Structure 1
């Protein structure tokens, strides 16, 4: 449980930071929202997250774009069943490819572009009811760590963005940031993200 919770959360946070550094406009919007909502407080509260809709959209878009567990936990068919013309026999192990669902143009507009704005105009959530966005699975066996993961990733990302400005090292431009993925039980960046905190931010 500890391994699953730490590896997936840290990977999701790394992807969120990478996508924001790769998309400076989204980063600027997220930080401006934090300045407006949090003000000059030195402590970020969990209750602040509910007042940061763009930050929540960034987290959802990261869950959608970079599913921590690309194939979820294996399931087993309880009986013979036909799914979209395919016969799945009883006791067959089934893997749900949520990574592919997140890149499916039939489900998402501009599926290969990082666009948090898509979640500002829709009620889609990660709680297992909207099947196009199920990074934690769904049903009775949904990941029990869902509430903790959402809060943890949101608070860590808010802290990193609120207190510091960030840049890529060695003069790397945002559009040149390596965004390659390596698949495994969890989805990681092929090359770890290197980001430099420039300075403590001056709140507006």
Structure 2
């Protein structure tokens, strides 16, 4: 049995004045939840989001592949917590009858405010439980967009992201090798980053430099050759 779980909050010095990025230790609230708290003025003072993808295979169900692609646009906030998690489990299969479990989660979070505080967690965990020869692959990609003024993704950006989502669905359910799956997932993540950076370039300006940060964590993939 092998299980690896890593939590990697990431900070970017370019946006340190705008965002304090740390660890959000609360448990997963559900497969996809978002809870804003608004004041009477209509400005969101705090927001919480949690996206979680889970796949599980065993001798009765040899293959399962699941993915998630969510866009969370918080607007102006004083504080926000974002958690993105992918878990894949393979249990009880044999080398002659191997299983494949794939979980991929793409989460986009936009936060505005020159003094906003963001706590972000990005986790992937792949576990083989007495499953010789199984492929158990988990990948979490979290995109944090920070701008001094609220950013609304326009129809063009939304359309491009929808196309990437469609291709992620196809990739997740494909039978490509683990190495190719990793390469293509990274390629889709690069496309997401490019779309978001284009959107940020035309966002309302402020005293703080807008930024797009990718948090990426993979577990269960074989080492690169």
Q: Same fold (TM over 0.5)?
A: no
Give me the TM-score of the superposition, normalised by structure 2.
0.26
Q: Which one has the bigger helix percentage?
A: 1
Q: Which one has the bigger strand percentage?
A: 2
| Structure with more relative contact order (C-alpha pairs < 8 Å, separation 6 or more) | 1
